[in-house]
Amino acid sequence: MSLPIIPDQRKDDLHNLHLLDKADFILFLAGNQFMLAKELITNFQKKYPEIKNIFYETLPPKLELQQILANGAKFQNKIIPGNPDVYTSVSIENMQILEKENLIFKDYFIYAHNKLSLMVPKGNPKKIKSVYDLARTDITISQPNPEIEDIAQYTINMYHQAGGKNLVKTIMKEKVKEGKTIFTTVHHRETPNKILKGEVDVGPVWHTEILNAQQQGLEIEGVEIPSPLNQETEVNYYACLLKKAKNIENGKRFLTFLKSDVVKNIYTKYGFIPE
């Protein structure tokens, strides 16, 4: 398997890269948790101050999965190893792939949940009210890329539940050809910038990302999607320990930490639903 490429502009998803070679703990964190990652790591080190050097990624989990399976990824003139101690994902399929390859222990678990919302400019100038509006010819969509983003499958499931194969075809094929559905390059964290620049009108994102954008003061608002279309009963965050982990004991510590009240409070603070 060829090494996946991490684009240069995603340097901010490679945290403490200078510590990689001497890391006491390596974490591949599903990228949609970017807003709480620093607080999570800080509190983990408060509990275990002897764990001084931590390298962690906040790339899309499907890209991180490719990195693990290929045993590395290319970034600029570096090879970033594909051997984290802990990996997290919003896809059970990713866990099953790693399990089938005998790369992880079988005791992976769910630690949090999320749901989908539609991100639009403040004031919602196109008056987007529901998922069905994404089929409109006057609407341009920032769509998570199915090749690298696990959230993409949840959005496709949402489209199918809302309008069957026809809505999926309209958004994921016909509007792509028309330039009205624009796939993200790496990460749907690109969506707020595309909206603010006027390049798109809407983007399906995690509910937590709308909250984060608003907390940052961005001219963004959300259109709530009713359950079960918002996938809130389906979205699970999984965590696992890698069998080839270089820091296996610290990996075990982190997995125990994920189940703590401290972590549950952090996730609640940022709009996630802890397990």
- What pLDDT is recorded for position 153? 95
Give every CB contact of residue 270 below 8 A, 6+ residues apart in sequence: 35, 36, 208, 211, 212
Mean pLDDT of 194-213: 96
Instruction: Please state which CATH number belongs to domain 8-113+237-274.
Output: 3.40.190.10
CATH 3.40.190.10 in the chain, residues?
8-113+237-274, 116-224
Mean pLDDT along residues 46-70: 96
Q: For residue 9, name the pLDDT band (cuts at 50, 70, 90).
A: confident
What distance in Å separates the CA atoms of residue 94 and residue 233, rounded to the nearest whole number? Answer: 18
Q: pLDDT grade, residue 190 (50/70/90)?
A: confident
Dist CA 244 CA 104 (whole Å): 8
pLDDT score at 10: 87
26-40, 151-165, 188-202, 221-235: least confidently modelled range: 188-202
Classify domain 116-224 at the CATH topology level: D-Maltodextrin-Binding Protein; domain 2 (3.40.190)
pLDDT band at residue 188 using 50, 70 and 90 as cut-offs: low
* pLDDT above 70: residue 122: yes
The whole-number pLDDT of residue 13 equals 95
33 pLDDT higher than 70: yes
Closest CA to 272 of 187, 190, 209: 209
- Give residue 1's pLDDT: 77
